[in-house]
């Protein structure tokens, strides 16, 4: 059983929903982002999504685009991101870590080398937003063979014909993008999300986590009530962008996590 599957089993046994937090590796610098990452489990985060900065983040809104730019300017690389995970594992062997980003840095490194390094570092799963299911041979299937979960995005436009293709080789959980558009845009609406969550859960047999448009403890709680959990990225990255100390960012995260866990 992967760490991700084990975490969902534990949450189910506790009658709790999952809270997932996204931060950009290296934003605003390596040490600050690592300090935040290290504090996320104590703040109530069940799974960490760690962004890999890339020069052309086409699925991301301005908040995360700027986070990636800050990270790249501070010298963050895929190698340093893997080192962050390795360092995190020195004190935490149970919290799942998912790398989220784009295929180009992985392709540049070489798929086989990347997967071996990611597994050795302690990465549990991948979200690669620009590789469609038609390209599963590129990374998805090799990742699964290497013991890493490959997490897919489903959206409001993923219809009945497309959904089986999207979830066919998905593992870990399905990330439901609750709104059309880029990250950090409109607010997610539980009454709109609920039917799609049920439809995706039925098709995949996996936990369905809802992200995009969740900015407050109240919205995290409302969304988690109709899903298996909530993921927050842009709102957390916005706090980091304000130059707040790690302790303040983690307090903000804890409030969001508390909201999701009350669902």
Phi, psi of 235 (to 5 degrees): -65, -35
CA dist., res. 230 & res. 234, Å (int): 13
Q: Does residue 49 have an active-site annotation?
A: yes
Which one of 49, 136, 149, 196 is the catalytic residue? 49
Element (H, E) at 47: strand 47-51
- Answer yes or no: are the C-beta atoms of 249 and 236 closer than 8 Å: yes
Q: Does residue 60 have an active-site annotation?
A: yes
Distance of alpha carbon 29 from the chain centroid: 20
Which one of 27, 29, 56, 60 is the catalytic residue? 60
Cis preceding-peptide flag for 100 (omega within 30 of 0) = no
Closest CA to 81 of 30, 147, 119: 30
Q: Which residues are catalytic?
A: 49, 60
């Amino acid at each position: 059983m992967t760490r991700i599957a084990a975490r969902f089993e534990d949450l189910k046994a506790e009658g709790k929903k999952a809270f997932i937090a996204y931060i950009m590796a290296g934003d605003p610098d390596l040490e600050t982002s690592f300090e935040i990452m290290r504090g996320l489990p104590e703040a109530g985060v069940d799974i960490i999504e760690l962004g890999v900065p890339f020069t052309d983040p086409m699925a991301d809104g301005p908040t995360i685009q700027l986070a990636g730019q800050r990270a790249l300017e501070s010298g963050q690389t895929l190698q340093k991101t893997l080192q962050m995970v390795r360092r995190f594992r020195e004190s935490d062997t149970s919290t799942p870590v998912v790398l989220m980003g784009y295929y180009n840095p992985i392709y540049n490194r070489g798929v086989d080398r990347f997967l071996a390094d990611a597994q050795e570092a302690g990465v549990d799963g991948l979200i690669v937003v620009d590789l469609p299911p038609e390209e599963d041979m590129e990374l998805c299937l090799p990742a699964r063979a290497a013991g890493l979960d490959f997490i897919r995005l489903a959206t409001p436009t993923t219809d009945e014909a497309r959904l089986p293709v999207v979830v066919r080789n998905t593992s870990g959980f399905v990330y439901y993008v609750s709104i059309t558009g880029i990250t950090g845009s409109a607010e997610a609406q539980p009454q709109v999300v609920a039917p799609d969550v049920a439809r995706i859960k039925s098709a995949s047999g996996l936990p369905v986590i809802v992200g995009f448009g969740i900015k407050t403890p109240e919205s995290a709680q409302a969304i988690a009530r109709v899903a298996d959990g909530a993921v927050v990225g842009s709102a957390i990255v916005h706090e980091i962008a304000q130059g707040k100390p790690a302790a303040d960012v983690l307090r903000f995260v804890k409030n969001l996590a508390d909201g999701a866990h009350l669902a």
